[in-house]
Amino acid sequence: MHESFTIRDVSVHRFARRWAAILVPKVGWVRFRLSRPLPDQCGMARFTMDRCGRWHVSFTAPQPVMLRALTGTVVGIDLGVAAAVTLSDGRQFRAPVMTPGEAQRLRRLERRKARQQKRSNRRERTKHSIARLHARQADRRKDFIEQTSTRLVREHDLIALENLNVRGMLASARGTVEQPGTNVRQKAGLNRAISQQGWSMLRRRIKDKAATCGVRVIAVDPCRTSQTCNACGHVDPASRESQARFRCTGCGHAAHADINAALNILAAGLAVTGRGGTAGSSGPDEASTLADAA
Ligand SMILES: [Zn+2]
């Protein structure tokens, strides 16, 4: 399973461009490949084994300072159930999901595993293949989170995002009694991806990086950001026609649902800073925003 341990007094020695060794008590020097530069000062070292049996070592070190120039740009970010990051300027970044080919291979492997005898060598090999597929997917999500958080912090002086309620999001995809969730099966899969990859991870990386370069991050109350019309401020759950479409029952304003939400999130964030002005008035009236300063 997932094993891990920590070493406090770290001795590391780099012997090639991409290779270093670390002294592990009772084991000796262990070589490892450098996936990123070693920090100047290695605090503690943490060893973890991932799902497919690979060991990783990571060092505690302060987040390196990000260099950026003021851009004068502010942004609201909607983290959607459809595994997409939607910005108030209309751009959208999709979190990686399995390719159809990988999903098919996974289904085939799962079926094979179900047929195989418990504890047999063949079954162990199948389990290992399944774990490798999942691990590759996890690596991709991690890359996506690193790249997206760097980009968002580099481009914006202020970032407003939702104080995410993962539990609520999972519940909403299952649907309610009156309004059963559409594509529940498909969404259940997406939800698994999201809870694993964790929008919370993305939020944390944005905050970590923002804190090194003075970018302000404001977490706003997610309540009603998806039900409020960004054009007129009218609040009605029925305005959200579908996962993707928003049509205001008050003024008829139609928009992409996630962009409408991102604009509301931005407005709520600006309202906190007092830079609201025009934008603040059209945002959700929940001023109970949580400002966790950068
Ligand atoms: Zn409206």
Q: What is the pLDDT of residue 101?
A: 92
Q: Sheet with 158-162: list strands edge to edge.
A: 92-94, 84-87, 74-79, 158-162, 216-220
Question: Which of 40, 50, 102, 162 is flagged as catalytic?
Answer: 162
DSSP H helices in 34-165: 100-115, 121-155
Using DSSP's 3-state secondary structure scheme, residue 75 falls into strand
Question: Which of 155, 178, 221, 258 is flagged as catalytic?
Answer: 258
Question: Which of 3, 9, 40, 78 is flagged as catalytic?
Answer: 78
> Cα(250) to centroid of ligand 1, in Å?
5
> Cα(285) to centroid of ligand 1, in Å?
14
> Cα(283) to centroid of ligand 1, in Å?
11
The answer to whether 85 and 93 have CB atoms below 8 angstroms apart is yes
> Cα(230) to centroid of ligand 1, in Å?
7
10-residue block means of pLDDT along the chain (294 residues)? 82 91 92 88 86 87 87 93 86 88 93 95 94 88 92 97 64 45 48 59 94 95 90 95 93 96 96 62 35 36
Domain locations along the chain: 4-59, 74-95+154-281
Closest CA to 139 of 166, 167, 102, 113: 102
Q: What is the pLDDT of residue 294?
A: 33
> Cα(270) to centroid of ligand 1, in Å?
20
Active site residue 236: no
Neighbours of ion ligand 1 (CB under 5 A): 229, 231-232, 234, 248, 250-251, 253
Closest CA to 110 of 92, 98, 93, 96: 98
> Cα(266) to centroid of ligand 1, in Å?
17
Q: What is the pLDDT of residue 177?
A: 41
> Cα(239) to centroid of ligand 1, in Å?
9
Q: What is the pLDDT of residue 289?
A: 36
Active site residue 155: no
Side chain identity, residue 203: R
What are the E-state strand segments in the chain?
A: 4-7, 12-14, 19-24, 28-33, 45-49, 55-59, 74-79, 84-87, 92-94, 158-162, 216-220, 245-247, 254-256
Active site residue 143: no
> Cα(256) to centroid of ligand 1, in Å?
13
> Cα(272) to centroid of ligand 1, in Å?
22
Compute the distance between CA of residue 178 and CA of residue 184 in angstroms, rounded to an integer: 14
Q: What is the pLDDT of residue 269?
A: 95
